[in-house]
Structures are given as structure tokens and as C-alpha cells.
Amino acid sequence: MVGTASLRREAMLRLRYPHLVVEPLRGNLDTRLAKLDRGQYAAIILAAAGLKRLGLGARIRALIETDESLPLAGQGALAIEVRADRADLAAWLAPLDHRPTALAVQAERAVSRNLGGSCDVPLAAHGHWGGAGNLHLAGRVSMPDGSRTASAEVVAPVASDAEALALGRRLADALALQGAHEIIAALAAQSGGESAV
């Protein structure tokens, strides 16, 4: 039995490994690791960055690559928000801005926003840079049980915010053509609510 707290990871696991038994994993990090140690799960999936940050990197037995399980849109990116009247603070923080990452995250988040994604939807989007300034943007929306999925990838040169947003919309449209909106609507109906935009 494999444990995960993420519907997105559950969907990816069930899609790729339909023979696995995947069960919800709840609790804080210590509780989750204790459940593994007690043998309640054969394996659990956690964020490697969190384990490393807490000095628990030795607990990691394997890493799941993005071609096997796409991350949540914007996952791993950090942001600092500054008041509009603090130009001095914005200038001090400017060297921390990594423009390629900001553009990739904008494209990823545009996918989620255009499909009406929320934390209750197994929706993934991941951008990575290729040659010639091309942003490769992959996305997937799945039912948690892996029974239905929409998956697509788009590539285009991206050098501006507008181009990043347009690429995200293009991927959302490609996913919609494969039934992403229907998957999201079915999930909303199961949860008795509507997904947030």
C-alpha cells in the first residue's frame, strides 16, 4: 500500500501503476513517517524538498521524476510580495528575481487559472526551458482513480509575461479539447461543490 496526501499524486500513481493500492495519508510529517515506520504503508510519497529542509534527507529512498508525476502549477517557486509604495524595497529585492522561473510559473499558473483548478483538482502543470528560449509546458488533469485523464504539452519561445500567459492558455485549451473541463466538473459534483477559479 502506498500513501499520499495529494490527489494529484494519487491520480498519477494510479494512472502509471494501476496495480498499486493507493490510500490517503494524513497527519503532519512526523505522523506520516511514523505510519510508514509502523508498517501501515509499504511506501509513502512526500515532498523531497521538505524532508531535506528538515534534515531528513536520509529518509528519501527514491525520487519521482517530472515525466512520471508532474508537479502542481508553481510548486517549489518562492515569491516575495512588496507593497506598491515601497519601490526602495522592490529595488533591493530585484537581484533575487529569476526571470526564467517567473515566466515558467506564470505559464503554469495560467493553465490552472484557465481550467478553474483548485487544491481539490488533480491538475498538474510544469514548465522547463529548452534551447532557443523555448518553454516546454506540460499539463495533466486526471480523475483521482486514474480512470480518465487529459494530457498535453506545448512548446513556444517565451520572453515576456504576455507570451507566458498565452502559452498557458494554449495548454489549457489543449487539455480542454481532451475533456479537462468535464473531469473537473465531475470532481466538483463528487465533492458537492464547485472548483475555485
**How high is the pLDDT of residue 194?**
47
**How high is the pLDDT of residue 33?**
94
For domain 2-59, give the fold.
D-Maltodextrin-Binding Protein; domain 2 (3.40.190)
For the chain, give every domain's residue range: 2-59, 97-191
For domain 97-191, give the fold.
Double Stranded RNA Binding Domain (3.30.160)
Instruction: With residue 157 as reference, give the H or E element that holds it.
Output: strand 149-157
**How high is the pLDDT of residue 144?**
82
**How high is the pLDDT of residue 193?**
53
Neighbours of 145 (CB within 10 A): 13
**How high is the pLDDT of residue 77?**
83
**Model's pTM, two decimal places?**
0.81
Alpha helices by DSSP H, listed for the chain, are: 7-16, 29-37, 48-53, 87-93, 99-115, 161-177, 180-191
* pLDDT, block means (10 residues), the chain with 197 residues: 87 86 90 94 90 92 86 84 94 92 95 83 90 93 86 96 97 95 86 50
Q: By three-state DSSP, how is residue 150 classified?
A: strand
